Amino acid sequence: MEHRDQLIRTARAMVADHKGLVALDESVATLNKRFEAAGIPQTEAFRRAYREVLITAPGIGDYLNGAILFDETIDQQSSSGRSFLDILQQAGVIPGIKLDEGTEDLPGFPGEKITKGLDDLTERLISYRQKGLRFAKWRAVISIDGDLPSEACIISNAHALARYAAACQHAGIVPIVEPEVIMDGDHSIARCAEVTERTLRELFYQLNLLKVELRGLILKPNMVLPGEDSTEKVDSEQVAAYTVNCLLNAVPATVAGIAFLSGGQEPELASGHLNAINHIYQSELPWPVTYSFSRALHQPALEIWGGKDENVKAAQAAFLELGKANKFARSGQLIPNEFSR
């Protein structure tokens, strides 16, 4: 493989030094929905301003190795005229890009989704590589509902993730593969574990089939949790046990790193679960285990900012506070009151 050594170096850098990744890759529709809930105008100017709040937060590189961006953000600049990509790179934060184009119904399988974006992927990868993007992300959605997910849904999405990953590596870009078993539903934590393990096993079968270099790849899985409508009560130690068992059963040791998604969890909960995984099991894990959070890292900053210039510093402080807490969680040393410091 032409880019193997460079891919491995970049992947290792993405999970180094007890730092994490921030997902700033919400689509226009998704970010506008969050803006509407916070009373912020839903315009390109305000979306750019919000990205600036986060990207220019002082000391961002102390807590983050990488930032996943949305296409709209790639060519944007700060209010002082500096490219967002330059700001991130100068802070030591590797820029990446969300490459999937959302989901559509999987034909013949009601209630299940397949991810779009493979058709023009090669051309987009060439363009992003030329702009300095060094990694990418692709999300697949797996739902639990009665007999779902179907085998067809798991195989179809795993194959699409593998095709995306192979195309990324051919272009010299590290792929983050995100097979998300979503929290919607009333399923048990055991059911989530079973579906997550099935999905991961199929994913790595497909990745192997397409000769993807696992040392140059990051896995972004869900934590193993009960459905959000379930009445089952679990603590962080149980979540850690189910999650680690699932990963050890299904994920090859050669993968460069694990970067959990938050999946809609509140910041304290997502960080607490990450902390338990590392505190209890870090010495047993063959890969670095970190995070790639979106709302669980910067939703409080959005609410504080509210679209107002006078709130920028306070919003940045909230963002960095969660970055600091998650750095402790990565090493299994998070203490409960770290969020209030």
* Catalytic pick among 52, 112, 178, 338: 178
User: Can you list the domains of the chain with their CATH numbers?
Assistant: 4-340 (3.20.20.70)
Q: What is the pLDDT of residue 189?
A: 98
Q: What is the rounded distance in angstroms from the CA atom of residue 112 to the CA atom of residue 105?
A: 6
CA 92, distance to chain mean position in Å, is 19
Q: What is the pLDDT of residue 335?
A: 79
Among this protein's residues, is 178 annotated catalytic? yes
State yes or no: pLDDT of 337 exceeds 80: no
User: What number is the average pLDDT over the span 10-17?
Assistant: 97
Q: What is the pLDDT of residue 2?
A: 83
Q: What is the rounded distance in angstroms from the CA atom of residue 266 to the CA atom of residue 279?
A: 20
| Residue 49 backbone dihedrals phi, psi, to 5 degrees | -65, -40
Alpha-carbon Rg for the chain, nearest whole angstrom, is 19
Res. 339 pLDDT band, cuts 50 70 90: low
Q: Which two tokens stand for residue 152?
A: 């067809």
Q: What is the pLDDT of residue 287?
A: 98
| Residue 48 backbone dihedrals phi, psi, to 5 degrees | -60, -45
Instruction: Dump pLDDT digits (tens) for 178-235.
Output: 999 999 999 999 999 999 999 999 999 999 999 999 999 999 999 999 999 999 999 9
Residue 235's CB is within 10 A of a number of other CB atoms, namely 11
State yes or no: pLDDT of 338 exceeds 60: no
Q: What is the pLDDT of residue 1?
A: 72
Q: Which helix (H) or strand (E) holds 255?
A: none
Residue type, 54: L
Which of 134, 129, 206 minimizes the C-alpha distance to 166? Answer: 206
Which of 92, 169, 183, 171 minimizes the C-alpha distance to 141? Answer: 183
User: What number is the average pLDDT over the span 307-323?
Assistant: 97
Query: Which residues are within 8 A (CB) of 27 and not within 5 positions of it... i.e. 6 or more apart?
Result: 70, 102
Res. 288 pLDDT band, cuts 50 70 90: very high
Instruction: Dump pLDDT digits (tens) for 79-91.
Output: 999 999 999 999 9
* Catalytic pick among 98, 113, 220, 327: 220
Strand partners, 22: 67, 293
User: What number is the average pLDDT over the span 22-50?
Assistant: 96
Task: Return the percentage of the chain with pLDDT > 90, whole number.
Answer: 97
Res. 138 pLDDT band, cuts 50 70 90: very high
User: What number is the average pLDDT over the span 282-310?
Assistant: 96
DSSP classification of residue 183? -
